[in-house]
Amino acid sequence: MGRPEGDGGGAAPHAAFVLQGRWTAAQLGDRATWRGVSADLQRSPGDGGAWDLRQVEMLDHVGAQLLWTHWQHRWPATVSVTDAQRTILERVERFTVEVPARPRGSVAMAGIDAMGRKVLGGVGHLRYLTRLVGQLLIDAVKLVRSPRQGPWRDVSGHLFQMGAAAMPITALVGFLIGVVLAYLMSLQLRQFGAESFIVNILGISLVRELGPLLAAILVAGRSGSAITAQIGVMRVTEELDAMRVMGIQHGFRLVLPRAIALAVAMPLIAVWTTLASLAGGMLAADISLGITPAYFLNALPAAVAPGNLVVAVFKSVVFGIMIALVGCHFGLRVKPNTESLGQGTTASVVTSITVVILVDALFAIVFRNVGL
């Protein structure tokens, strides 16, 4: 749109591009007017040639910015303006930020840069988490040397919140998983007359893998997010800075109690979830296959070697420590704003579940000959 009023532009006898009308935000805000002015400017000589703005009735910073952008942030070779117009244009010149031209192949380079930033961010998280693990080991040695100075009250509180309070939901989910697995297996085993083998399948799958894994995923979503949120709120309210000023170590007072609590609670929750899953599977097997609970309980010890339970308990301890470390890691890296708190909590849950699955896969490979 060349001008809102009258002829917006044209070549003068001396080859000057003459502007007329009102170049203000009120006039340029209309879509039709904006299109007309843009079309007129595209036919103009840009920053080269002569310009005459003296016939412009009114010029504000919006119109001046439009002209300055069309001039490619440079004064034309010849320009005729009033003193007021020159003042506005010089102010726009002073406060306009130059945007560098994007080179060819910038889209591909932007993708590479984004991937590089993600890799560097992942390396940063790994480095910080490694330092957190080292600090946890140092604090554990300190606790062994001076057990009376340990944060046992914090450990007790976290044991209740992360262990006892999680028993209802883990039992319910475990029971339902056992029912579903038993019903699905019964449909297949009945075709081959192998109904009695449901005890072996449920026993191995629930005791060795699904029970501990399911408990760890539930705890990661429930307690891992709570850990990150608690420490993140302490960052937002500057409690972490106050602790540092008072000489209180974050690792000893925040990370160590949560790691101990989950290391103790996770094996118990895993066994509790496994028992609930076996109860659900036993009930479903009795209903669908006619396998009595007495037969199920008598056949279970022979079907599941004790080594499977040892592996399940051991990796549950590792699950608990990893969930606590990941939750504390993202909590300590929260920035003092609510947006970062939400992002950290989400990242903590996703990372905890991913780490649990990766560690479980590693245990399945390393201990593949134990209990089988």
User: Model confidence over 151-175: pLDDT tens digits?
Assistant: 889 899 999 999 889 999 999 999 9
Other Cβ atoms closer than 10 A to 145? 8
Other Cβ atoms closer than 10 A to 367? 17
- Residues 76 and 201 reside in one and the same domain: no
Per-residue exposure over 104-114, b if at least 16 CB sit within 10 Å of its own CB, e if not: eeeeeeeeeee
| Least confident residue range of 5-9, 87-91, 321-325 | 5-9
- Residues 333 and 250 reside in one and the same domain: yes
Domain span at residue 235 reads: 135-366
pTM over 0.85: no
Segment 198-244, tens digit of pLDDT: 888 888 889 988 999 999 999 999 999 999 999 999 988 888 888 88
What phi and psi, each to the nearest 5 degrees, are found at residue 118? Answer: -65, -40
Q: In this predicted structure, what is the pLDDT of residue 45?
A: 60
Segment 64-100, tens digit of pLDDT: 888 888 787 778 878 888 888 888 888 888 877 766 6
Token output for 227: 């850990």
- Residues 47 and 190 reside in one and the same domain: no
323 CB-near residues (< 8 Å, 6+ apart):
216, 219, 220, 223, 224, 227, 262, 266, 352, 355, 356
CA Rg, the chain, in Å?
Answer: 35
Query: How many structural domains comprise the chain?
Result: 2
- Residues 198 and 53 reside in one and the same domain: no
Do the domain assignments include residue 8?
Answer: no
Do the domain assignments include residue 128?
Answer: no
- Give the separation between CA 210 and CA 232, rounded to whole angstroms: 31
Please compute the mean of the pLDDT values over residues 106-135 and round it to a whole number: 80
Token output for 155: 């450990």
Q: What whole-number percentage of the chain has pLDDT above 90?
A: 29
- Give the separation between CA 361 and CA 237, rounded to whole angstroms: 39
| Least confident residue range of 188-197, 257-266, 308-317 | 188-197
Q: In this predicted structure, what is the pLDDT of residue 13?
A: 40
DSSP letter assigned to residue 214 = H
Do the domain assignments include residue 104?
Answer: no
Please compute the mean of the pLDDT values over residues 46-54 and round it to a whole number: 72
Q: In this predicted structure, what is the pLDDT of residue 357?
A: 94
- Residues 140 and 266 reside in one and the same domain: yes
Segment 233-276, tens digit of pLDDT: 998 888 888 888 888 888 888 999 999 999 999 999 999 999 99
Token output for 24: 């203000």
Do the domain assignments include residue 360?
Answer: yes
Other Cβ atoms closer than 10 A to 86? 12
Do the domain assignments include residue 110?
Answer: no
- Residues 309 and 234 reside in one and the same domain: yes
Q: In this predicted structure, what is the pLDDT of residue 227?
A: 93
- Residues 78 and 150 reside in one and the same domain: no
Is residue 108 predicted with pLDDT exceeding 70? no
Distance of CA 333 to the CA centre of its chain: 12
The strand pair at 78-80 and 50-52 is best described as parallel
Is residue 3 predicted with pLDDT exceeding 50? no
- Give the separation between CA 92 and CA 70, rounded to whole angstroms: 13
- Residues 149 and 90 reside in one and the same domain: no
The mean predicted confidence, pLDDT, of the chain is: 84
- Give the separation between CA 351 and CA 357, rounded to whole angstroms: 10
Q: In this predicted structure, what is the pLDDT of residue 271?
A: 94
